[in-house]
Amino acid sequence: MSSAHCPDQTARYRALCSRDARFDGGFFVGVTSTGVYCRPICRVRTPRLENCRFFDHAAQAEREGFRPCLRCRPELAPRQRHWSSTDAAAILTEQACAMLDDPQSWDGASADGSRLERVAGRLGVSDRHLRRVFEACMGVSPLQYLQTCRLLVAKQLLTDTKLSIADVADASGFGSQRRFNAAFSTRYRMNPSLMRRQHRNSHRETGGSVTVRLSWRPPLEVDWLMHFLAKRELSPLERFDASGNSGFFRTMRLASPSSQDHRGWISGFWDQDRGQLVLQVSEGLLKVLPSVVRRVREWLDLDADPAAIHTALRQNFPEAEGLRVPGCLDGFELAVRAILGQQITVAAARTIGTRLVQRLGEPVETPPLRPDRLFPTPEVLARVEDSILGEMGIVVQRQRAIKSLATAVLEGQIDLNAHTHSSHTVSQLESMPGIGAWTAQYIAMRALRNPDAWPPGDVALHSVLGLAAPRTAAARRAAEQISDAWRPWRSYAVIRAWAGLHATPSSR
């Protein structure tokens, strides 16, 4: 049963009693006798039903005066996403949540009202309409939701790092330490310094780096996910262990809201017994740690709800509940890699991509014998000479596509972040030279995090589905008709088909 399918108190109380991780993040429970709200997996003594109040989101619990549990730590719960292919209000709210969730949009120098106006403007609606729709769908105002996001991020930083209080205030989007102290003390009834003292033994730091834990909902096919990424690995940039250890190392660049460039590396391993990714983040990325955490969650699809997805897909893919859609850490990088891979094998694309990073990527300080290059920036690729790209084996058509894309990103004409409007960005991509519908949808699936992307004319997909090769419009329409039953999770169906897990007609 999906966490989204527990609308009544009795069902949610049964889920709470079971401590089933599949419901983690799907709802929160406020305990009236303690004034604390918890995740459904919390290991404290189960409260009586009459003392429980259930909430869809942490912001709803905090609006009612409940404080986050210090044991189960609601800030670590997977996020819950409710996708709808027809409800305009739900789609608008989901897009607004994605933008408000993004720490890179938390410019502490801006007033919350102007920040909401920017979000509404990007969505093409008035801030008044956004507030009305948001409150109807979420039960809280956009600014209440934003404040909860920032305070929970600050709580994680106070608990897991030794960042100064001023740096925590800045990273969590407050304009000043004074504003941060006031908001934190009002909401959680303790000041940030006291919160830190209560968790002084939980910090795990090594050589300036910090370690944080990220939860997911089971099941998750870790080995398959690592194998998918390892097959596409660019060795100067990243390393994946697809064996039983299932770890990774990766260089990373991020800009803060002030446009300052932050560079460093991340590494991680999977603690499958606890359902957590143990993530180590280097010192150079600590001031943008909330953004790093968000990008990693999107990259590894840690916020997916497997039960909801599998309900739509299990008839055709009965054995693939744990597969996720691998994302990316940077949308521009993923788009360039998608262009490089057009009409060639994965291995050939990997070879060309490795040459690109080795030749044009900037060096970054990492531990010995680790990848030590960053992916080339849009500035570099927009201005690189065609002859240099040609020496790497990049044909003229793809040279033009890469340089056009880099210029568009550099000039702010196209946004390849996960919270952007997917259909509009796909249209922009398809209008660029050398980028067809398949590449645009692949970018939507992995960079824009559209769960319903559909790469038309995919040869491997047609083969797995037992259809004719996609040489004609009729064959492509046949695949499209089959895919209608999988909405709004077609991206996951594509991944399952690529993995060869489509059921045969006889097994169905």
> What separation in angstroms does the CA of 332 have from each of 133, 329, 374, 448, 453?
32, 9, 13, 10, 18
Task: Name residues whose C-beta falls within 8 Å of residue 120's C-beta, 6 or more positions apart in sequence.
Answer: 96, 126, 127, 129, 130
Peptide bond into 371 cis (omega under 30): no
DSSP state for residue 503 in the 8-state scheme: P
> Distance between CA 51 and CA 116 in Å, rounded?
35
Of the candidates 152, 64, 135, which has an alpha carbon nearest to the alpha carbon of residue 97? 135
Beta carbons within 8 Å of 392's beta carbon, 6+ residues apart = 352, 355, 356, 359
**Residue 231 and residue 243: Cα distance in Å, rounded?**
12
Among residues 11, 1, 82, which one has the least CA distance to residue 49?
A: 11
Contacting residues for 130 by C-beta, under 8 A, at least 6 apart: 92, 96, 116, 119, 120, 123, 142
Amino acid in position 243 = S
Tokens of 433: 């030279």
CA distance 456 to 372: 36
Instruction: Name the region of 35 (left: φ>0; alpha: ψ -120 to 50; beta: rest).
Output: left
* Residue 38 annotated as catalytic: yes
List strand residue ranges (DSSP E) for 91-220, in order. 205-206, 209-215
Distance CA 101, CA 80 (A): 12
Q: Which two tokens stand for residue 124?
A: 């093409």
Q: How many residues does the chain have?
A: 508
SS3 279: strand
Choose, from 6, 24, 38, 305, the residue flagged as catalytic.
38
State the catalytic residue, choosing from 101, 330, 452, 458: 458
Query: Long-range CB contacts (< 8 A, 24+ apart) of 430-433?
Result: 432/401, 432/404, 432/405, 432/408, 433/397, 433/400, 433/401, 433/404
Query: Rounded distance, CA 371 to CA 387, Å?
Result: 26
**Token couple for 38:** 């918890």
Q: What is the CA radius of gyration of the chain?
A: 23
Q: Is 24 a catalytic residue?
A: no
Strands 67-68 and 36-38 come out as parallel
Contacts of 192 (CB under 8 A, 6+ apart): 154, 158, 165, 168, 180, 181, 184, 185
Tell me which residues are annotated as active site: 38, 458
